[in-house]
Structures are given as structure tokens and as C-alpha cells.
Amino acid sequence: MNIPVVIVAPNQTTGLEVRSQVDEVDGFYVVDVVDTTARLHEVILDRQPHIVLIHEGAGPLPTPQAVRDMQARHPDVAAVVLTEKFSPEVFTAAMDAGARGVLQYPTSHDNLQQRLPAVADWVRQMRKHLSSGVADDELGSRGRLIAVAGSKGGVGTTTVAIHLGHDAVTRVPGRSVCVVDLDLDGGDISDFLGIEHRLDISDLAKVADDLSTQTVESAVHRSPSGLAVVLAPDRVEDIGEVAEREALLILAALRRHFDLVIADCGSSINPATAAAVETADDVVLLTTPDLLALRGAHRTTETWRRIGAREIDHVKILINRSSRDSDIQPDTASRLLPKDPLEIVLPESLKVLQRGVNLQDPGEIRSAGWWSRIQALAGVLDTVPAAAHQAPSPRAGSGFLRRRAAVAEPAEAGQSTVEFIGALVPVGLFILLLWQLGLWGVTAAYTSHAADAAAREAAIVSGTSGAQAAVQAEAMEAVPGWFKRQIAVDLQANRVVVRGRLALLAPGVSTGVTLTSSAPILDEGE
């Protein structure tokens, strides 16, 4: 198999000399010679070389920086540095940047014959490794990078990014997962997780050429679940520190440090988010079933294509916040998108998610239905090893809650109905209380009215033999039929006393408790 090689040389003479020597090595051929490191990314995309020979005299970037940028964008392409002044310092700088070898220039056929096959073998192993789709221990020193972007603001990009990270770190104990906030001017991951702002991505950008493990760790915040987070700049004046090159180097360093890196790109397209979209293993674009978001999906994917960050064929579109009340349903939305979306659809879940937001802990979300969809998305994006795809839901809590999380989605289907019925109970009790108070009020009014009517009749018939019967008849006449059996009338010397039994929930149903009302008997002369 012939191995394609690109040469970066400071001038045409040097380029032709190196080319002639490479062509003499069996199994290698030169596909292009360029005189500047500024075009290196473009040439690699166009020529697809396995090896790049970079002469230290080529500019404008210093050789270590050019190698570092190339490795961040194209980790499966090997760089070999050619130097006229070979020294331990030059060798160390090149190897620290990611070069696979350093050769003295002018070089010899023997040196190339000895070094190039070894470098080519490394490239073959790396490409085989990267194409295998494995994770965790099999990933070696290169973690998986997932970019999560939004077609417009407010479509749930941060929520999905955090929940994917939380799912990955809780379902696989010991797995190192990092969410990096590339929504530079509007990132709010610190608020989602209750993290106190310390160092952020702008601090890493200032030392992007020297990102050691200790430096990276100093800017990493960790949630109680173990999820690592790199925050967006806290100050607007620091946003400019994170350009395309710095983002590439930071993401490359994070991939060396973590098994999984999830970049929250927000909805804005800038050099930093474009770098993440370009170098990510998978890109998921969130949209919602409304016209503005669907148009935004077209605009975003077209911009990515135009700047060379990502072709639409390599973008996964996810519909979020779908509900039966939406004017545009997922089937209709799929016809309005630049490509078919994922079969997974995330429902409108404000009530379900608000507990996690208010308590600043995704583990407080109790919906097994929500987590089952996040786990399905994790399976599509390969953020969790296949062996863990059937693991319990990543919610914190007791064993009972974890067992509930393992229940299949059909068991969650009636959740909304149950919640609705649960809400009706206190409302119903309140209505019953108002009804009962109303009945008691009516009883008091009718009892008082009957006492007044009976007292007036007593003033007329006082002293006659049928006074008690006449007074009682008048009292009964003053109240409705259902209440006649609920009162007792007592004619006394100077007053009439009426006792009414208090009703319970329905007229005519007595509680056994009576309400007493009395009225004085006035002489007719008065």
C-alpha cells in the first residue's frame, strides 16, 4: 500500500529536494508540496495524506504550534519535523507538540527509509483504532468528543448536554466525563449545576500552548456526581481569548484527559464552536417544532457547510420540546428540516425538569420516561459503552427510586393522568369545604327567619289554647320543604326558640349538631 505524504517547505528548492528523497522510499509518494503552514489544514482536507513532513523554516506559524494545531484537527495524520539545527530542545518541543519524529535536514535516504515506515505503521494503528467506535479503556489516550448545538436560543442545548454527561458518568462508575461550555457569551452551566465560578475556558486559552494535566485540572469544576465541567468566561472582556486555535488546543487537551468530552455550543456560530463542530466525532443539532427553530436549523447547517466545519450528512438533528398541543408535530417538522431528524423525540418536560433546575442537580429529576430518552440518545451518540446501555437510570436516590428508573417507558405513560388526578384531590376538597360552609350558612339564615315568623305569630295568638300549634305551623311555613323536618319550635313565656339541625354535605342529611335562634314575643301594642 502506497502512503500519501505532504511536504511543507520554506521554498521551492527545499520542497523539491525533500520530494525527490521521499519518492525513492518504497511505498511512499508525495501528493503535494506547500510553502506555508497557513494552508496546511486545507491541504490535508483536500489531499488526505497519512504523513506531513514540516520543515522548521516554513511559516508563518512556529513549527511546534503548527504541529499542535494539526494534531488537534487531524489526530490520525502524523507529523515529522525537519530541522537544520538538531538539538535536545528542538526534539523535546516537537515531541511535546505531538510530532511522531524529528529528522536532521538535509536528510538522507537511509533516515527516511528507517523512519517513515514506523510512522506509517503508527498512522494505520491510529486510524484502525479511531474507526472501531470503541470506548473507555479501548480508547487509549483519545476521548470521544460530542458537540451539542442549537438551531436558535432556548431549544434546550445546555439541558441535553448536561444530562448526556450526567447519564454517562453515573451509568459507568469511574468513567471520566467533561462538559465544556462553548456558549461563550451566554453560557449558564454554572447556574444549572450550582458551581461557584473560579477559573474558566478563557484561563485555559491564555496558556493554550502549554496545557499540561495540572493546568487542565485547575480549570475543571466537578459536580457531586463526578461530572467535570469547564465553564464559559465570566467576564465579557475574556470572550476574545477563546479563538479557533485556542478552542482546538483546549478540546484536544480535554480529549487526552477525559474518556468523553461534550461541548455545549449554544446557538451562536463563532470560531470556537466551529472548531468543536469540525473536530467532533458526532454533532447533534437541537431544534424545536416551531417555524423559527426549524428555519434556524437550515441556517445553521448551511453556515457550517459554507465555512467547512461540517457537512449536513454528518449532523444528527434532534427535535426537543414536542407536545400534542404543538401546531407542528414531529412528522411535519421532519419535512421542514434539512434532513430527517432522529427517531428519538424529547417531549415538552418543563414540569419534569424544573426540580433538577431548581435544586441544581440533574439527579433530582424523577422521570424514568425522560431518562429513558436520554439513554436512547446516548446509544445513538455512543456516549456510553454498549454494555451499559441497559443499566439503571442515572438518578440519585434510594434503591426504590433506582428500581423505578428501570421501569420501561410504558409504565410512565399514565404519569400525566396520575398527576392530574392528584391535583384534583385538593381542589375537590376545597370545593366541598365551601359547599359545607354554604349549607351551614343557609341553615343559620332559615333558623333565624323561622324564629322571627314564629315570634310574630305568637304575639297574635298568645294566651289561646292552640298557640303552640299555630306558632309551629307559622315557623314551618317560613322555611322550604326540605328544611321543615330539620327544625324544632319551642314557645316560651316571652320568646320563641327555634333549633335547626346542621346539614352534612347534602340538604336533609343531619350532623346531629343543632343551631339555636330565638326571637322575643312583642305585644301588639308595641
Nearest to 135 by CA among 228, 261, 252, 249: 261
Spatial contact of 63 and 33, defined as CB atoms under 8 Å apart: no
Where the chain has pLDDT below 50, the residues are 133-141, 391-413, 525-526
Please tell me the predicted confidence (pLDDT) of residue 106: 84
Report H helices in 361-414. 368-381, 399-405
Q: What are phi and psi of 503, to 5 degrees?
A: -80, 150
Give domain 136-408's CATH superfamily: P-loop containing nucleotide triphosphate hydrolases (3.40.50.300)
d(CA 105, CA 13): 13
Amino acid residing at 256: R
d(CA 252, CA 255): 5
Q: Give the three-class secondary structure for 242.
A: coil
Please tell me the predicted confidence (pLDDT) of residue 318: 96
Q: Where are the domains of the chain?
A: 3-131, 136-408, 420-520
Nearest to 451 by CA among 424, 459, 157: 459
Q: What is the pLDDT of residues 266-318, one digit of tens each?
A: 999 999 999 999 989 999 999 999 999 999 999 999 999 998 889 999 999 99
d(CA 364, CA 105): 61
Please tell me the predicted confidence (pLDDT) of residue 254: 92
**Counts for the chain of helices (H) and strands (E), in that order:** 19, 16
b/e for 307-330, b at 16 or more Cβ within 10 A? Answer: eebbebeebbbbbbbbeeebebee
Cβ neighbours around 398 below 10 Å, total: 8
The average confidence (pLDDT) of the chain is: 83
Spatial contact of 321 and 348, defined as CB atoms under 8 Å apart: yes
Spatial contact of 49 and 22, defined as CB atoms under 8 Å apart: no
Q: What is the pLDDT of residues 131-190, one digit of tens each?
A: 654 444 433 446 899 999 999 999 999 999 999 999 999 888 888 999 999 999 888 898
Nearest to 475 by CA among 506, 442, 517: 517
d(CA 178, CA 67): 25
d(CA 111, CA 113): 5
Are 3-131 and 136-408 equal in CATH topology?
yes
d(CA 405, CA 370): 10
84: Cβ contacts below 8 Å, ≥ 6 apart: 56, 57, 104, 105
Q: Domain 3-131: give its CATH code.
A: 3.40.50.2300
339: Cβ contacts below 8 Å, ≥ 6 apart: 301, 312, 313, 315, 317
